[in-house]
Amino acid sequence: MKFLEQPPRFLFFTGKGGVGKTSIACATAIQFAEAGRRVLLVSTDPASNVGQVFGVEIGNRITAIPTVQRLHALEIDPQAAAQVYRDRIVGPVRGVLPDAVVKGIEEQLSGACTTEIAAFDEFTALLIDPALTSDYDHIIFDTAPTGHTIRLLQLPGAWSGFLDEGKGDASCLGPLAGLEKQRAQYNAAVQSLSDPQRTRLVLVARAQPSALREAARTHTELAAIGLNRQYLVINGLLPAEEAALDELAAAICKREQAALTAMPDELRALPCDHVALKPFNLVGLPALRQLLSSPIEQAAATTADGQVKFDAPSISDLVDDIAADGHGLVMVMGKGGVGKTTLAAAVAVELAHRGLPVHLTTSDPAAHLGETLHGSMSNLTVSRIDPHAETERYRQDVLAAKGAKLDAEGRALLEEDLRSPCTEEIAVFQAFSRVIREAGAIFVVMDTAPTGHTLLLLDATGAYHREVARQLDPSGVRYKTPMMHLQDPKQTKVLLATLAETTPVLEAASLQADLRRARIEPWAWIINNSVAAARPKSPLLRQRAHNELKEITAVATHHARRYAVVPLLKDEPIGVDRLLELVGRVSEAV
């Protein structure tokens, strides 16, 4: 493996949720330790399962891994770190400022940016303090900071003063209020990150267009701030020999090769390794030792082909209940890469197929799905919101309104704040809100929705509510804002999309908790691309199907009030016929 050759002291593994970066980081740590090196494995992933992988309780302390000599691990709890931040900043003003103001500050400090910056605060010492890490030859980090976070930490100026004077909207600057005293420490940490003699960044992706696009975005963003020493790992490639055993396996292999052929140009120049898909769960030392083996070595060990009895609701079952209302808003939410755009289209097509009027609206940058559906089905209209255009419009509006009175330093802070993921979510949500009112008469199916944090931030600051109120007739007519629509279960049904894998399920559960804070109760979960529901014949895929059952059971019995399972299809679900196929029932034996 190229990324293992002549490794520097620090290695960072980053990538979308569910691509396998934790498993690869753990396997790398084992390989180094068993080669005689002293290794510290550090996780900053909010959904960390490093302890579960090794079968050891780790937590926020350096812990020896009993089964691997010379290997220690540390799980930094980003949520706990973020809570310390909130207490540090909110504590002094609690009881001094009005409750509404305090609530707004707390929500400013509840988002992903706070969590990431707080985690960065925790592990910077590991990068720059020799006393803490002198016992280790290598320090391996599972989950690296984004370019946005690093740029924030590099910015000049008095963050606390910027916030105290009310110059910014603080969707991401809020967490920086407590960091001013540690500026020198952060500068040293960023220098370490950008030194290729000390640090190597490994981008982990799957052979899927969305995962490769995300890897390309991360590469470009980090290279722009000096983190140029990057490697690419394509994880989970189905071995070619499986294609001869199963039509589904053959289709997967074909899709993966097409994705690799169309890989973004910026990734092609990077040193690249391929890691074969394994039939087993990557938990425990024997499994991790095999992860970085060659496909030939692992193929000899993959002989499981037992039958899986599988019975689960389909999307059609969910649509039965949705259709009974006659109209309403259906929001499909989830982390990137779980197929929420396709699921939104499938729900919309099924509703229209039943003779109900439907408006499908999406902010998916890949507009080919909307073009495929447009005009191809009665009762269905499709619109596409351009997130880049909406975000730029929103940025210019904020800069014009708030930036005009700022000095150069304050404007730089505001401009960086407006590059955060929260900004795009707010801008797209405002565009979506223009079609929400249609849900009073027809079905509106909405793809790519904002997180609960973004919705709460809008609500807590009152910005959107005040804007609506200003536009109302002064006679005091009753009104309902988009946020109120989302909180009304009679008006809105939120569908959480996920995959039958550990990390995507944990991320969906985190999103559900986030939405509940915003008083939005998810109506159902949809488990997408299930191998267990696809009735595979390939021995490797059959074992993968067995492995999915634990996660499907967790969703059905613990996380969701109602759920559906969508099989992994041989043909990609593009076009009305294939989307209707995706909606169908999946209650046969695998």
Question: Among all residues, which ones are annotated catalytic?
Answer: 18, 20-23, 45, 503
Instruction: Tell which residue, 217, 191, 192, 189, has the closest CA to residue 203.
Output: 217
Beta bridge partners of 273: 233
> Hey, what are 303's tokens?
């002989």
Beta bridge partners of 71: 39
The residue whose two tokens read 């190597």 is 200
- Rounded CA separation 25/41 (Å): 8
In the chain, how long is the greatest CA-to-CA distance?
78
- Give bridge partners of residue 330 from the DSSP assignment: 445, 493
* Beta strand segments in 61-103, E: 63-64, 71-75
- DSSP one-letter string for 164-223: HTT-S--TTTGGGGG-GGGHHHHHHHHHHHT-TTTEEEEEEEESSHHHHHHHHHHHHHHH
Q: For residue 199, how many other CB atoms are within 10 A of its CB?
A: 21
Cβ atoms of residues 269 and 219 within 8 Å: no
CB 256 within 8 A of CB 238: yes
CA distance 164 to 581: 55
Strand-strand pairing, 199-206 and 230-237: parallel
Question: Residue 583: what residue type?
Answer: V
Specify the pairing of strand 443-447 against strand 328-333. parallel
Give CA–CA dist 385/392, Å, rounded. 13
Phi-psi domain of 296 (left: phi exceeds 0; alpha: psi -120 through 50; beta: other)? alpha
Assign residue 246 a region: left if phi > 0, alpha if psi is -120 to 50, beta otherwise? beta
Q: How far apart are CA 94 and CA 97, in angstroms?
A: 6
Sheet holding 39-43, edge to edge: 63-64, 71-75, 39-43, 138-142, 10-14, 199-206, 230-237, 272-276
Asked if residues 343 and 566 have their Cβ atoms less than 8 Å apart, the reply is yes
Strand order in the sheet with 380-384: 380-384, 358-362, 443-447, 328-333, 492-499, 524-530, 563-567
Q: Is 309 exposed, middle or buried (0-12, 13-18, 19+ CB in 10 A)?
A: exposed
Please list, in sequence order, all residues whose beta carbon lies within 8 angstroms of the beta carbon of residue 320, skipping any fewer than 6 positions away.
Answer: none
Instruction: Round to whole Å and give the CA distance between 338 and 335.
Output: 6
Assess contact for 452 and 515: CB atoms under 8 A. yes
SS3 335: coil
